[in-house]
Structures are given as C-alpha cells and as structure tokens.
Structure 1
Amino acid sequence: MSTDPFQPVLLALPSLTPSLALELIPNGLLMHRLFVQADGKTHDLLIGPEDPRDHLKKKYVNVIIGRYANRLPVGEFSLERDGAKGTVKPISNESPTVSLHGGTTGFDYVPWTQLQPSGSKLFSSEEISTISSDLGASSLWTYTSKDGENGFDGTLYTEVLIGLLSPSKPTSIAKEPEYLMGSVVIIYRAKLLDEGKVTPLNLTQHWGFNLTASLKDAAHSVSVKSHQLAMKADKTLELDKNGLSTGKLLDVAGTYHDFRTPRTIGSQWPTVENGPGGYDWYYSFPPTPSTTDHRLAPGTKKNVVKEVLEKKLEGDEAKVELGSETSGVKIVFGSNQSGVQFYTNNYGSTTFPRKKIHGGSGVEGEGEGYGSASAAFLEFHSPLAAWLHPDTVRDGFDTLIAGNGEVYNNWVKADVYYKTPSGDVQQV
C-alpha cells in the first residue's frame, strides 16, 4: 500500500456498462473523481483540480469534515451527557467569532489510513460480512483525533466506510427510460476512547456536484443554475450575520428556500448587496424513521450496513434529488441525518485549477476555474451547534457523544441514475 497521502485509490463496479467509479485521496479522505460512463460518454460529477495535491490550494472541496461540520461560535462551552462531562473550545479560523468545519486542522487536513475490514473496531462481524458480500467495491478508513485537538475534549477514534453498490437488476439503457447505475454509500462511525468525557460530533462529506461540467457546450460556464433540485426540507435554519445559528427554524413556504416541488436552482436565485448571491443555508427535514440510530449502544449486533444497502430511496426516504436534463444524470440522496447544508460555491475561485474533463487546462491561474454557482454542495449533517440550540433538533440527536462505549453512526447513500438526454450534446 502506498504511503503517499495523495496517491489515488480507485473503487469501481465490476464488469458493468454503464459503469460507476470513485477515486479517493487519503489526505482529507477526499473524493477526487466520481465517474459515470453511459451512452459512450464519461462524466466526472465532482468539481476539483486535475492534480490531487492542488486541493491544498483551496479548502473544503470534496473532503471529509470534522470533528464538527459547519460553523460553531468561538468560546468555551460546558458539555454533559449521561454523567460524562467536558468542555469544547472551538478555535477561530473563518473569523474571530466563527470556527468553521472543525478548526484550523480539521479532519479535512490530515491523511487517513486505509484499514482492512477484519481490523475494524466499530463495525460488527455481521456488518463486515455484508460489506464483503454485498458491496461491489469498498474501502475502510480510520483516523484518531487526539484529546484536545482543535479544542475538542477526548481521544476520538473514527472509521469511515466508503463503497459502491451495484444495481440489483442491471439492464440496458435502451430498455429503461431511467437507469440506476449504482450507489455511493458512506457510513461514518466514531467512538470516544476516554471514559467520562464527552464531545460534540458532526461528520459529513463536503462534496460539490456539477452534472454538466463534462459536456462541451457547458464547459465555458460550468454553472449549476440549470440543474433541477428537489429537497424534502420544510424548514431552514435562521443564521446571524456571521453565518451562525440563531437557534430558530423558519418555514420555507413562500420563500426561495422552498424546493419541495422540483425546480431549477437558478429560478429563484438569492441576491445580496455587494456579493455573488446564491445559497448557503442549512435545511431541516421532517423526522422520519430513518433519522434514528445516531448512537449505537455498546456491543450492538444490529446490521446497520445491511439496512443502508437495502434502503429504497423513494418517497420520504429520498431526501434530496439533483438532476440535469442536459446530461441525463440524476442523483437521489438518502441519509439518517436530520438535514443538509446546500451551498452553491458562491465564493468559488476562477483561478483554482479546473479538471481537463470539465474543459479546463488543469493549471492554476488560467482564469477558467470554478466560480460562483459552479457546484451544488450537499452536506448531510445535524444542525449547526445542535447541543447549544435544542429547538433546532427535530430528531432528538444533540450531537453529543460520551465516552461510555456508544458509537456515533451517520450514513449517506446516493443513487446515481442516467437517462439518454434530449438533444445531442458532444463531449470535450
């Protein structure tokens, strides 16, 4: 196994046409490419640079986020859960009063170690068997966060399963109006190793999607405003001027936040004075049976992996749908998390290297990077600073994990569909 933290690790579904493949980078557990091959075309659905090391030039593009996703207020806060006590001292990095995505050296900043499934400490033997038998391709990764790292109490041991699931009934695109090409599955597990301590925990993938960037006629703009978006969210989190939670949930009805009926992202584009506009809000879903099992009891034998793989993402379980009539690609997302942060890369960089498959040169400074509205970031996690704002917690999970043997459990499943698009769009 390579010791280079930027050496790609490829996961691919075996012997399938169309096909699905995912390229991972150990540094920051980064999703570098998500390939879809169908109708003789190859799409890369994730924005980013050509060279994996160029991710160091811009943070938070397709990496894991932790210990705590999104924005926390800077300060010192007392914690208590089941008799365990502690403090958290979020470190400022975005501004003097805001700690963003886990602090100055969060989970996105460190190299993760690939782990053999047999060496897992957080997945049961039944789950390991399911991983081996049911996933078309998978890898398991681990990182241990030291006590006090970035102001968080307790030594935290984390494992993340990333896998590709083959469609149950492979068929020909010619016979199906819409073809399920496979699924991306991510399961985050973590355990606090220090008995009597407690920590807030909120893990997610900060991945940015563009379903048309690989098409020649879209390469000059690389915009997601024409993408169709549907979200089950009926409320959004009120934010203060620094992007921190005020502790209130607001109804989306009658506002540009309402995506319960599918529409294009650009159809009600938010505008701001002296800024690019766009979306950067947390959206809250109505609680469903899936928004449970955030904590697994010590020694549980429940096969959560099997439940996730068998989950049908339809009806209330289809939390978010992102699609493009131009490319024919659609992604349906499900998760046990209570909401999603939707961000349209409002402050994207036009000098950040753009992938060649997206019409770029792959070189920094060419003025062809990924600017505002170039991606739909969909980050599934609990509300911002949930333990501080109980009125924003609709599923009972305040994001506190105690050192009593319980295991944090967060999953996301993304079903990738393809249908032959209307019109003949040529590739780069």
Structure 2
Amino acid sequence: MAEFKPVLLTLPSLGPALVLEIIPYGLTIHRMYVQADGKTHDIMVGPEKPEDHVTRKYINSIIGRYTNRLPVKPLEFERNGVKGEFTPIPNESERVSLHGGPLGFGAIPWTQLAPSETPKLFTAAELAALGTPSDAYAFFRHTSPSGDQNFPGTLHLETLVALVPPASSLTTAEQALGSVTLVYRARLDDAAGPLVTPINITQHWGFNLEASLGADNLDVRQHALMLAADHFAERDADALPLGGFAAAAGTPHAHTGTLVGGGKLVGDGYPPTGYDDYYLFRKDAVASVPSHIAADKFTPEADFLSSLVGAESKQPAAAVLSSAKSGLKVRFDSNQGGVMCYTNCWSNPVKSGTRKKIHGGSGDVNTGDGYPPHTAVFLEFHHPLASFLIPENKDTELDTLLTTGEVYNNYVRCDVSYTVPA
C-alpha cells in the first residue's frame, strides 16, 4: 500500500553518510541511516517492516493534534479574544486522552506533495532557501476536519522533512555528517469565521546510538544526555500535568552537567522505572523562531526557514545525546519550550512488537525478541503539557492554541556527528 512505501531522502553529492526512510503512514521516520568509519548504523529503534507501525503505535511517528496527555473533561480556552471549548476523547484511561485521541495524526496516512506541487504553508522565499536537490527534502500534507477527535476547526497542515548537508568540520576530531530538519505548519480554515483550537505537535522519535553494533549493545544507560532544562513537570498518578514545575537540581532530573561538554550518563541516578518526564527548557535554550506567525506577516517574501536549513545551526542546543562506544552524537535545537524524555522503560520484548534486524532482532512480529526496557531515548520536543490550561501562558507563544489568522510554526533540527571512539 502506498502509505507504507518508504520515501527515501538522500544527499546525493555526499554519498550515504545520512539517509532517511519516511513512510506516509503517520509521517513516520522508519529508518535513519548513518555511515561513519565504514560502519552503517540505524540510530532509530522500531519495527523492521513499515506496516508493523500500525500496531507499534507512537514509534517515530508524528503526534497531533495534541501531544502527550489531556484530562478527559470539558475544557474551555481563549486566545487573542477568541473563545473555544472541547472535550478530549479518552484512550489511555477514562481520565486521560493521549497523543490527540484514539485516531491521532500518527495513525493516518499523510499525502506527499509531488515535485510540481507548490506547498501552501511555506513562502516563496523559504522554497528558494531550500534550493535543490529535491532528493534531500519532501513535503507532506494532511487536513484534519472540524470535529476530528472532538477538536474544533478544520486544520490544514504541511510538514517539511529536510536533510541538510554538513558543515565542513566541527573540530579536528568531530566530523559533521549532516542534519535533519522537521518543520510543522498549520492553519485553520477561515471559512467558518474566527475560531481557536488546541495544537501541540511533535515527532515521537526514539534513538539508540549503539544498537547497530550488535544485540549486546541495546541498553542506553551508558549514553550521555544533556538537556538545557532546570525544571521538570509535576504530574499526578495518571501522568496528567498539575500545572507546576519542580527544580531539577539535586535530583536524577538534572541532565545539565557532570560530564565534559555537559550532561550526564542516562544511567547516572537512573529512576527505578526509567525516565518518562517532561523538561522545561531554559529560555536561552529556546530558539527565537516564532511558533505563531500572524497571517499578515506571512508574505511571499517572509523567511522563517533559511536559518534552519543552513549547513551549520545558528540556534542554541536544547539537547545532546551521544555515545562514547559508537562515537555518534545527535544535537537538537528547537523553538519548542521543552522536551519529553522517555527511556522505553515500559517496553516488553515478548509482547511489544518487533526489533530491527540491524539491531539484532528477527524483524518478525511476536517472536519474543522485541526491544527490552531501557533501549531507547525518545526525545519529543513540544511546548508544555496541557499548556493552554495554565493561566500564565495565556496569549503567549506557549499557550498551544491557534486562532484563525495565524500560522502554526514548529521546528526541530537534529545535527548528526561522529568522533572516533577512544
């Protein structure tokens, strides 16, 4: 079926150093191949077969309209004087609506735009900044009708997935291999008049920088992780946000700095059940690229993209994940206010799907050789959980609401590099 046929993104002039396989179903990054020092790695966990993403939900797919958890009850909200309301549909439990509801954006096919088709939510100046080759990027489109999972307003969405050539070098030891930039755009249909709708999109991608070295290298607790965050979200017993943030200093949630270059080993102070927590970035770690763009500012000459697809990121690092064993490192920047970090702590190798062959699995379903716990670091960049319900976020970049007459603009960039292991 077309929604499971991989779309291949490459940088032809630079060989196979960085290659993406995307499937339109759930706008899922199925594989992220990295070639370094003669070895080929797939640095993302997941099933072997594209169609197995149907049962392995939330593995490297897009999440929307609203990521993470919302309380199941009538919710009222307002942005820029426009009021709205809706009741989320439960799917994780009677109290919790997870990742947009029972049929979120990660469980539907997206449409890839043909090379001859002009995106509607990217400007002429931005398309010029992308340049060529077209093999290095793709646009995908979806329309979410009013009432979809109970969300108000018809929402038109376009996503850019782009490979970016590497800078000439980072240091004498560290070699840049290229970057992946994801840009999510959305706009409410204005035919129904002024509307407001909650929106908070992310990529639910999970990384293991050592798994391709063999089946004995699945545990991520020796990976180093830096998060530019001093606080983490307080949540109740059902993981619903309470609206507040606790200081990370002095707790296992301080991922800022015991190692050279910042960060700490994932397994240092590892909680008994692993990490499944939301971290609020320091303000200086959030890129100044706006997440709401007024329609009158969204002109053909406007450019909110070129700084995100340059060979060297000009934005501050929000997160860095690295492996001393493989020598691989992924560095992230984003205009989103924080990140959900999940270390695959609830994975069950017997009951939970399949493991890729390149990671030592059989690739078959229900053979008992899926990924065990603690075998991935999922980094999901998005604004705070249920942010539109927190009064101090009203009418700010963080309120996770979109009104008629605005363009939603969300990005994350992942820079990949390699250093010869010591």
TM-score computed with the length of structure 2 as normaliser: 0.92
Aligned equivalent of 2:388: 387
Return the alpha-carbon distance in structure 1 between the equivalents of residues 147 and 113 of structure 2: 25
Which has the higher mean CA deviation after the structures are superposed, 111-120 or 58-67? 111-120
Q: Which residues of 2 match residues 227-242 of structure 1 at below 5 A? A: 227-242=223-238
Change (3 A) 1:339 1:254: same
Q: Which segment drifts farther, 31-40 or 80-89?
A: 80-89
Task: Name the structure 2 match of 1:225.
Answer: 221
Q: Report deviation, 1:372.
A: 1.1
Native 8 Å contact 2:77 2:389 kept in 1: no
How far apart in 2 are the matches of 1:283 and 1:394?
Answer: 22
What's 1:274 paired with? none
Q: Does 1:267 align with 2:268?
A: yes
Give, as a single letter, the amino acid of the residue that structure 1 aligns with 2:128: S
What is the alpha-carbon distance in structure 2 between the residues aligned to residue 131 and residue 324 of structure 1? 31
2:290 to 285, 293, 296: 293
SS of corresponding position for 2:209? coil
Q: Which residue of 2 aligns with 1:415?
A: 415
CA positional deviation for 1:138: 0.1
Specify the alignment match of 2:160 in structure 1.
Answer: 161
1:303 partnered with 2:303: yes
8 A contact 2:229–2:279 mirrored in 1: yes
Q: Between the two proteins, what is the percent identity of the paired residues?
A: 46
RMSD after superposition: 2.0
User: Does the 8 Å CA contact 1:84/1:196 hold for their aligned counterparts?
Assistant: yes
How do residues 42-61 of structure 1 correspond to structure 2 at under 5 angstroms?
42-61=40-59
Instruction: Answer whether contact 2:80 2:395 (CA < 8 A) is retained.
Output: no
When the two structures are aligned, how many residues end up with a matched partner?
408
Runs of 5+ unmatched residues, structure 1: 272-276, 423-428
d(CA) in 2 for partners of 1:133, 1:303: 17
Contact 1:24 1:31 in 2 (8 A): yes
* Contact kept in structure 1, 2:194 and 2:403, CA below 8 Å: yes
8 Å contact from structure 2 (residues 328, 416) kept in 1: yes
Q: Specify whether residues 278 and 305 from structure 1 end up closer, same or farther in structure 2 by C-alpha distance, changes over 3 A only.
A: same
Give the superposition deviation at 1:396: 3.9
**CA deviation profile, 1:195-219 (whole Å, cap 9, x unmatched):** 3111010000000000000002xx1
Q: Mapping of 1:2-401 within 5 angstroms? A: 4-17=2-15, 19-116=17-114, 118-133=117-132, 137-169=136-168, 176-194=172-190, 195-216=193-214, 219-220=215-216, 222-261=218-257, 262-271=263-272, 277-288=273-284, 290-299=287-296, 300=298, 301-310=301-310, 313=313, 317-351=316-350, 352-391=353-392, 396-401=397-402
CA distance in 1, matches of 2:417, 2:317: 13
> Residues 286 and 394 of structure 1 are in contact (CA less than 8 Å); yes or no, is this contact kept in structure 2?
no
Report Cα offsets for 1:9-52 as digits up to 9, x if no partner: 11011132561000000000000000001111000000011111
Q: Distance in 2 between matches of 1:286 and 1:346?
A: 26
Q: What is the deviation of 1:161?
A: 0.2
Alpha carbons 1:136, 1:165 under 8 Å: kept: no
Query: Would the aligned equivalents of 2:47 and 2:53 in 1 still touch at CA under 8 Å?
Result: yes
Q: How far apart in 1 are the matches of 2:72 and 2:131?
A: 43
Q: Counterparts of 1:4 and 1:156 in 2: how far apart (Å)? A: 23
Q: Give the Cα separation in 2 of the matches to 1:66 and 1:13.
A: 29
CA spacing shift, 1:49–1:75, aligned 2, 3 Å: same
Q: Does the CA contact (< 8 Å) of 1:350 and 1:367 recur in 2? A: yes
Q: CA contact under 8 A between 2:220 and 2:377: conserved in structure 1?
A: yes
Distance 1:410 1:24 in 2: 19
Matched residues in 1 for 2:361 and 2:128: separation? 42
Q: Post-superposition, which runs of at least 4 consecutive aligned residues in structure 1 deviate over 3 A?
A: 133-136, 310-314, 390-396
Given residue 374 of structure 1, which amino acid in structure 2 is its aligned partner?
T
**1:364-390 deviations in Å (ceiling 9; x for gaps):** 222221121110000000011101013
Q: Secondary structure at the match of 1:211?
A: coil
> Equivalent residue of 1:293, what SS?
coil
Q: Is the Cα contact below 8 Å between 1:8 and 1:23 reproduced in 2?
A: yes
